[in-house]
Amino acid sequence: MNAEDKWIKRWRDDDIFKAEPDPEKKKFFLTVAYPYPSGSMHVGHGRTYTVPDVIARFKRMQGFNVLFPMAWHVTGSPVLGIAERIKVGDPKTLRIYGDLYRVPEKELESFKEPLNIVKYFSKEYRENMVRLGYSIDWSRQFLTTTPQYSRFITWQFLSLRDKGLVGKGEHPVRYCPRCDNPVGDHDLMEGESASINEFVVVKFRVDDLILPAATLRPETVFGVTNMWLNPKITYLKVLVDGEEWLLSREASDKMRECGRDVKKLGEVSGEELIGRDCVNPVNNESVPILAASFVDPDYATGVVMSVPAHAPYDYVALRDLKSDIKPKTIIDLDGVDAPAKAVVEELGIRSQKDNKLEEATEVVYRREHSRGRMSSFIEGYGGLPVDEARVKISSDLAVSGDGGLFYEFSESPVVCRCGSKCVIKLIKDQWFLEYSSPEWKDKTLNCLSNLSVVPSETRQNFEYFIGWLKNWACTRRVGLGTRLPWDDKWIIEPLSDSTIYMAYYTIAHHLEGIDASKISREFFDYVFLGSGDAVEVAESAEISSEVLEKIRAEFLYWYPLDWRLSAKDLVGNHLTFHMFHHTALFPDELWPQGIVVFGMGLLEGEKMSSSKGNIILLEDAIEKYGSDVVRLFLMGCAEPWQDFDWRSELVENTGRKLKQYSELIRYSIDLDNSIGERDIDRWLLSRLHESVRETTEALDSFQIRKALQHAFFEFIRHVNWYLRRCEPRAETLKEVADTWIRLMAPFTPFTCEELWESAGNKELVSLSPYPVPSPDEVDDSVLVGEELVKALMDDVRRILEVTGSKPGKIHVYLAPDWKRLLYGELSSGKSMGELMKNPELRVHGKEVASIVKNTRVDEIPDLVFSQKQEFESFTGAKSFLEEVFGCSFVLYRSPDYDPKNKAKASRPMRPGIYVE
Ligand SMILES: [Zn+2]
């Protein structure tokens, strides 16, 4: 049995990661997004799940009662699509599952049944997680399709509905016509990040023909000076709701896909309409139709209104045309006339082709959105803040029939996992979560302001998303999952049934033994909120009151959740939903306490992608390098929130370093002598205690890479220096080994267990106390003294490089004490005049002046030794230096031999040197 298997068995036999409530101990509860097991685990997943494990192990060794659970998110329709494609023998799917994931043929056959796919891969995930040494409490594991979990989701949605947070209505959704189902991010093969742009359409008129100008800023309709059409394209005349509309061919197709009744009446070229006038419905003004080649038929309706005062593109286009049309300012922004013009001039934009136009548009949008108000002359809207005016005009236009909405994807194509192109569909009886509710947003912002965010700059992204989030379609027609309790033709979709399951972890193992059909809404009301009658609740669940109380107590012991970890592409949905739902369902003392957001993974510089085959399976990496090397590389190559790059060459380097670490520890454990303690021993032990402090501080703020720099890479250098520098003392190295193994145990648990056992310990290192920083053990003067020696070596080396000859003798001149006095006076800010009042300095007047002239105060070291201390530091290293340079060293406190006048150049902490 290899070392990894041996420790996995020991941890399992001793059941050391099982978390039980213990009122005597402080708890620490962290969770990471549960995986959707529809494929094999690759090294990118390895990073996601190793981060929480390192933190869990660190906290456990610090004496916390740690809960780190895991479960499987199998809700939704992706596996239905996969099963379907396997059934029809889709070559690409078979290639991924057969060749890339190496699923045995017999198993692959069984994948025609969707649930078999998630069962197979959740088993594989668990095996990999165990092999990587994750300290997970598996007793709480569940699939999101288990009946007990469904009861929990049922409770969640009934509660949300009763609070008025689930609504029903017409709603645009991404839709797959072939699956006949709305699709979520997980269901997509392409276009995962595509959102639905909602344009407001304003109906300008040329006689009876409607020119539907599409805009994201309907409030600017009052500032329209002209219309833009592309003379090079052929527009369609179509019948929409009894009206005659002008649309690009692409726009007409999109409207039809949306389910609108669009009938083609004829064609008309853009050219024909150029030069005519059309009427603005909000003020009955006639404006000219001008030619613009920049009008893209595949963007919205292909009909564009021009607002030069507030849209930089329009302003520049008119300027390029040398038109005499003047911008019409309709938003007051700090008294600026035509803000678009101002920003275009500010950025020095020359023409329509200038790529700074995008930036200009954003700047104007941001300024007007945050500070702009509608100009007072606009009837019905004057004085309104821009964002309010935008909502009001769009609803006024809809009511009067002068406007409407137009939807399109923010990017295309959007392709379902089944291979079909998705469309936007208006679903009439769609259920949605009302994230647009201002009260709900306020509560969630309150939650955000009271939790920690790592990295801290992500906080503003959350603020943005909470503000921006609109109602969310939370049900689907098909897929695995929990049915909507009051309308069972709908299934709750995956991003909506995964928002508060952290609470479910605290009680999952208790529910396993209870008949799901007996778990009522009142059961969860009691367990999570303490409301209702305990006796009745226990009776209807057919459990004893003691068991019920135990379940409630366990929830209260672990909650609130201390840390939630997830990837950065889930900031705008999952992580934000997580906050929303907690604020709606739980009292504020149970709201989440912290969020960590991960960066993405690259493979040899390229984006990891299963569908492109650009991944390394975790099991292959473990097989090749070993679990600890995989962990160490993943944690050492980037901080959790940074993107990381898996490069096999660097992984191999990491392997060599870990081997070196093991060898240093084994050497330390085996060493036997009775050398007494010297400065150099105190130096290594001071370094050790420094590393303990730095590592602990870094781990406390999730800076795992930084922690490893201190605990591992730097400390290996320190030990190597020590071994070079002196005959190693057994007692020193034994103390180092004892602390260093524990310091590294959260990162490389297998190696550390093995070494810990070799050092004669019976207890597991995983349960041993983490080293505690002890500032008293750090001796600053020996640290500084050793730096002096290193600096002297560097200086001598530089001199030798210049002379190029082999040294005969090296003379080292230590600065006299008056120069040390001068450094002290300089750092306390004394002027030349004040310095000259001191008789000890006055006698060296000329030299003092020269030193003062050539020394910056910030260059003076914090700690300046006396000459005697400096002399002792160098004396202690003399024989070492002589060995390194192969010649003798002479140290001078006051020079009696100085043929090249080098003593004059000496400074405190930086002696003068003469190489003979
Ligand atoms: Zn589909």
pLDDT at residue 170, as a whole number: 81
What number is the average pLDDT over the span 850-873?
A: 91
> What is the 182 CA–ligand 1 centroid distance (Å)?
9
Distance 84 CA to ligand 1 centre (A): 10
The amino acid at residue 697 is E
The Cα–Cα gap between 223 and 327 comes to: 8
Ligand 1: distance of its center to the CA of 39 in Å? Answer: 19
Assess whether pLDDT exceeds 80 at residue 192: no
Tell how far the Cα of 480 is from the centroid of ligand 1, in angstroms. 15
pLDDT band for 905, please (50, 70, 90 cuts): very high
> Separation of 188 CA from ligand 1 center, angstroms?
8
pLDDT digit string, tens, across residues 615-641: 999 999 999 999 999 999 999 999 999
423 CA to centre of ligand 1 in angstroms: 11
Ligand 1 centre distance from Cα of residue 260 (Å): 21
Which residue is associated with the tokens 């059941």?
15
- Give tens-digit pLDDT for 508-528: 999 998 999 999 999 999 999
86 CA → ligand 1 middle, Å: 14
Burial class (CB in 10 A: 0-12, 13-18, 19+), 846: exposed
Q: Do 34 and 501 form a contact (C-beta atoms < 8 A)?
A: yes
Question: pLDDT at residue 450 above 80?
Answer: yes
- pLDDT recorded at residue 306: 97
Q: What is the pLDDT of residues 33-53, one digit of tens each?
A: 999 999 999 999 999 999 999
In the reported structure, the alpha carbon of residue 175 is separated from the centroid of ligand 1 by a whole-number distance in angstroms of 8
Q: What spacing in Å lies between the alpha carbon of 421 and ligand 1's midpoint?
A: 8
Q: Residue 232: what pLDDT? A: 93
Give the Å distance between the CA of 124 and the centre of ligand 1.
Answer: 27
The CA 509 to ligand 1 mean position distance, Å, reads: 36
Alpha carbon of 473 to ligand 1 centroid (Å): 17
Q: How far is the CA of 491 from the centre of ligand 1 (A)?
A: 16
420: CA distance to ligand 1 center in Å?
A: 5
Expressed in angstroms and rounded, the spacing between residue 618 Cα and the centre of ligand 1 is 30
- CA–centroid distance, 191 to ligand 1, in Å, is 13
What pLDDT, on the 0 to 100 scale, is given for residue 276? Answer: 95
More confident residue, 454 or 425: 454
Quote the CA–CA distance of 288 and 228 in Å, as a whole number: 9
Exposure pattern of 604-615 as b/e (b: 16+ CB <10 Å)?
eeeebebeeeeb
Q: How far is the CA of 418 from the centre of ligand 1 (A)?
A: 4
User: What's the gap in Å between 478 CA and the centre of ligand 1?
Assistant: 11
Q: Is 593 exposed, middle or buried (0-12, 13-18, 19+ CB in 10 A)?
A: middle
From ligand 1's centre to the CA of 430, what distance in Å? 19
Distance 416 CA to ligand 1 centre (A): 5
Find the 422 Cα to ligand 1 centroid distance in Å.
8
Distance from Cα 21 to the centre of ligand 1, integer Å? 45
pTM, entire model: 0.81
User: How far is the centre of ligand 1, averaged over its atoms, from the C-alpha of 179 (Å)?
Assistant: 4
Cα 483 to middle of ligand 1, angstroms: 20
Q: How many Å lie between the centroid of ligand 1 and the Cα of residue 693? A: 54
- Biggest CA–CA distance in the chain, Å, is 110
Å from CA of 572 to ligand 1 middle: 24
Distance 488 CA to ligand 1 centre (A): 22
Ligand 1 centroid distance, CA of 177 (Å): 7
Distance from the CA of 236 to the center of ligand 1, in angstroms? 30
Using CB atoms within 10 Å of the CB of residue 351, give its burial: 0 to 12 exposed, 13 to 18 middle, 19+ buried.
exposed
pLDDT digits (tens, 9 = 90+) for 17-31: 999 999 999 999 999
Instruction: Tell whether the model's pLDDT for residue 1 goes beyond 80.
Output: no
Measure 176 CA to ligand 1 centroid, in angstroms. Answer: 5
| Cα 334 to Cα 336: distance, rounded to the nearest angstrom | 6
Residue 48 alpha carbon to ligand 1 centre in Å? 29
Output the CA 374–ligand 1 centroid distance in Å.
Answer: 45
Residue with structure tokens 């149970």? 590
Distance 414 CA to ligand 1 centre (A): 11
Task: Please tell me the predicted confidence (pLDDT) of residue 440.
Answer: 96
Ligand 1: distance of its center to the CA of 185 in Å?
Answer: 12
Ligand 1: centre distance to CA 114 (Å)? 15
Rounded to whole angstroms, the Cα distance separating 73 from 87 reads 23
Nearest to 747 by CA among 4, 30, 138, 55: 55
Q: Which of 368-377, 398-407, 455-464, 584-593 has the highest mean pLDDT?
A: 584-593
Cα of 41 to ligand 1 centre, how many Å? 25
**Distance of CA 417 from the midpoint of ligand 1 (Å):** 6
Cβ-contact 191, 417 below 8 angstroms: no
pLDDT at 187 over 80: no
Whole-number Å distance, alpha carbon 570 to ligand 1 midpoint, is 23
CA of 165 relative to ligand 1 center, distance in Å: 29
Q: What is the pLDDT of residues 552-572, one digit of tens each?
A: 999 999 999 999 999 998 999
Distance CA 536, CA 541 (A): 9
C-alpha 71 – ligand 1 centre gap (Å): 27
Compute the distance from residue 178 Cα to the ligand 1 centre, in Å.
5
Q: Can you point out the beta strands (E) in 569-636?
A: 594-598, 601-603, 606-607
Q: What is the mean pLDDT of residues 106-121?
A: 94
183 CA distance to ligand 1 centroid (A)?
8
What mean pLDDT do residues 449-466 have?
A: 93
The CA distance from 521 to 506, in Å, is 17
| 76 Cα: distance to centroid of ligand 1 (angstroms) | 12
Residue 476 Cα to ligand 1 middle (Å): 13
Q: How far is ligand 1, taken at its centre, from the CA of residue 96, in Å? A: 19
Ligand 1 centroid to residue 608 C-alpha, Å: 24
Q: What's the 101 CA to ligand 1 centre distance in angstroms?
A: 23
CA distances from 78 to 72, 83, 115, 153, 662 (A): 14, 9, 11, 20, 45
CA 867 to chain centre: 52
Q: How many angstroms separate the alpha carbon of residue 474 from the centre of ligand 1? A: 18
User: Phi-psi region for residue 133, left (φ > 0), alpha (ψ -120 to 50) or beta?
Assistant: left
Distance between Cα 125 and ligand 1 center (Å): 27
pLDDT confidence of 260, banded at 50, 70, 90?
confident
Tens of pLDDT, residue by residue over 272-281, are: 999 999 999 9
